[in-house]
Amino acid sequence: MCGDIEGLQNALKDASITNSGIINVSQYIELIRRDYFSEYKDIENIVDGSLVVQALQSKGEVPVALKANLYEYQKKGLFWMNSMLSATKGCILGDEMGLGKTLQVIAVFQSMKTRGEMPVLVVAPVSLLENWRRECEKFAPELDVYIHHGPRRTGRYKDLIEHDVVVISYNTASSDLSMLKMVKWQCTVLDEAQNIKNPYSDRAKSVKAIVRKSSIAVTGTPFENHITDIWSIVDYVMPGLLGTIETFNHNVSDDLLGAQKIEPILSPIMIRRLVKDVANDLPEKVVISQPIIMSDREVSEYEQFRNDVMGDTKSGKAITISLLQKLRMYCTHYSLFNEKICSDPTVDSNKYQRLCEIVDEIVNRNEKVIVFTSYKRMFNLFENDIPKRFGISVKTINGDTPVGERQNIVDEFNNKRNAAMLVLNPIAAGTGLNITGANHVIHYNLEWNPALEDQSSARAYRRGQEKTVFIYRLYYKGTVEEVVNERIERKRLMASSAIVGTDGENEKNDIIRAIEMAPEINKKGQ
């Protein structure tokens, strides 16, 4: 005790501590919050914050209805979040990218479903809306999931409460705030919660205004640039815990000393595991397929060209792979199709936006990434945008790169100590090269041949690789890319069953489906 007896008594009273013995986590957080704001220190905190997390995550049960075998660290994450939502009504899941944060949250949803605690709301970048729906469908098929997005979305709040899980974008959270506030959400979840790091932004104000019983912030990068990034996320999961933004800025400096000051209050409410810490749990290769919904602009232009192609086929023109190339190019980035220069390539391109979100986390981990794409103009886009956006070097190898220079480029990339990107053409550089300096691979546009994709991934996933390799596969839902993905998966299944050869009729059917498939957002209001 560092202050007077009266101060100590007031501190214990505010924390609802009336008897001696073990205190719960909410009482502990209230004590350190008081210590954080107090001019005179009544209590000396000698508790290791990590011990609080360990105590909470030691018990629990995995929901029987969950269709997944959780790793041990994922079970601990599930148990910890369930405990925190019960005890404090809010927490931060800060695991590094690739450790299955979405699955852990879905397991929490399934636990809540079992207890009859629905509905819940997920707010995510638009690029991840469809991924949330599919992951829920895969791991918790009992959950009724609804994507509230697009021009045809409902305007009635009663339509929302008919579902267990409602998934929306950050922009929709702002535009539909008045309707969202009419629902009594049992829990709201912010995916990629660093999106509210600016506490003055409309999106931050909107998600904090949604009425909810409990809150989960999900982010692999809780701190990006300034100490106020953390304040905004904490203020979402536990409003008022760190005081007002003005009080926070007055009490906490934007430097290492400031970070050390808030660490005792942040540690009990955030669980964060690094890949290196759970490497023994992970397989050597983690494949992450992410379906993405097109932006409204992309849907409109893609549909216009798709209908033109369908008109050509009805007029008697042959259906060939070449007719699909522009559709595939448009799915890569609309500027390749329109031949326009993009000042910001993330605008109206949800796929490129998702790539940048992934690269952001990779750069924050000071790791390297290989990106595969087939189109030369996409190479130019990466070379012009990525260095400015992330401050890292971008090297390329495609058909124009002299064969004698390719190994030098790879050697320079492998030897770099800092984050970097290497953009490769899967045909020109998909075989032969040893690029174990990178442990992240992004297939930005999928190829028809699964063997080509696997050979490309093997540039990083090969002998000599000392880290778990994360492979991201990005494709647009309801487009030619979804047909390509289905074909890849079908061929992989055939190969695993030792079936060799191809069916000419299936080849033709794939092409027809690719032309006829319209973006999901345009076919029905979600």
* Strands, E assignment, 14-148: 90-93, 120-124, 145-147
Confidence of residue 11 (pLDDT cuts 50, 70, 90): low
Size of the chain, expressed as the number of residues it contains:
526
Average pLDDT score over residue span 156-170: 96
User: Using one digit for the tens of pLDDT, what is the confidence trace for 102-145?
Assistant: 999 999 999 999 999 999 999 999 999 999 999 999 999 999 99
Pick the range with the lowest mean pLDDT from 227-231, 428-432, 505-509.
505-509
Confidence of residue 291 (pLDDT cuts 50, 70, 90): very high
Residue 205 in this model has a pLDDT that exceeds 80: yes
Q: Are 98 and 124 in contact (CB under 8 A)?
A: no
The architecture in CATH of the region 285-523 reads: 3-Layer(aba) Sandwich (3.40)
Closest listed residue to residue 284, CA positions, set 143, 131, 437, 458: 458
Average pLDDT score over residue span 435-448: 91
Average pLDDT score over residue span 211-239: 89
DSSP structural state of residue 33? H
The span from the CA of 78 to the CA of 160, in Å, is 26
More confident residue, 173 or 58: 173
Q: What percent of the chain has pLDDT over 90?
A: 51
Inter-axis angle of helices 227-237 and 256-266, nearest 10: 20
Closest listed residue to residue 278, CA positions, set 522, 28, 418, 75: 75
The residue with tokens 């202050």 is: 3
Average pLDDT score over residue span 218-245: 87
Q: Are 101 and 221 in contact (CB under 8 A)?
A: no
pLDDT attached to residue 447 = 86
Residue 384 in this model has a pLDDT that exceeds 50: yes
The span from the CA of 54 to the CA of 335, in Å, is 49
State the CB neighbour count (10 A cutoff) for residue 349: 25
Q: Is 284 helix (H, G, I), strand (E, B) or coil?
A: coil
For residue 8, with 0-12 CB atoms within 10 Å meaning exposed, 13-18 middle and 19 or more buried, which class applies? Answer: middle
pLDDT attached to residue 268 = 84
Is the bond into 402 cis (omega within 30 degrees of 0)?
no
Q: Are 11 and 43 in contact (CB under 8 A)?
A: yes
Residue 368's contacts (CB-CB under 8 Å, 6 or more residues apart) are 362, 413, 416, 419, 420, 421, 422, 437, 438, 439, 440
R_g over Cα of the chain: 25
The span from the CA of 63 to the CA of 112, in Å, is 9
Residue 1 in this model has a pLDDT that exceeds 50: no
User: Using one digit for the tens of pLDDT, what is the confidence trace for 39-85?
Assistant: 555 555 555 655 555 555 567 889 999 999 999 999 999 999 999 99
pLDDT attached to residue 503 = 46
The span from the CA of 475 to the CA of 308, in Å, is 22
The span from the CA of 438 to the CA of 371, in Å, is 10
Domain 47-277 has CATH 3.40.50.2300: no
Which tokens go with 395? Answer: 């090297």
Give ∠ CA 295-144-132 in degrees, rounded to 5.
40
Confidence of residue 207 (pLDDT cuts 50, 70, 90): very high
User: Using one digit for the tens of pLDDT, what is the confidence trace for 182-194?
Assistant: 999 999 999 999 9
First to last CA, the chain: 57
What's the half-sphere exposure (Cβ side, CA atoms, 13 Å) at 264?
17
More confident residue, 13 or 482: 482
User: Using one digit for the tens of pLDDT, what is the confidence trace for 458-503?
Assistant: 888 877 888 889 999 999 999 989 988 888 888 777 665 544 444 4
Confidence of residue 24 (pLDDT cuts 50, 70, 90): low
Q: What is the mean pLDDT of the chain?
A: 84
For residue 213, with 0-12 CB atoms within 10 Å meaning exposed, 13-18 middle and 19 or more buried, which class applies? Answer: middle
The span from the CA of 152 to the CA of 385, in Å, is 33
The span from the CA of 515 to the CA of 483, in Å, is 9
Fold matches, 47-277 and 285-523: yes
The span from the CA of 210 to the CA of 142, in Å, is 25
The residue with tokens 């950050």 is: 170
Confidence of residue 363 (pLDDT cuts 50, 70, 90): very high
pLDDT attached to residue 53 = 55
Which tokens go with 365? Answer: 């981990």
Domain boundaries along the sequence of the chain: 1-46, 47-277, 285-523
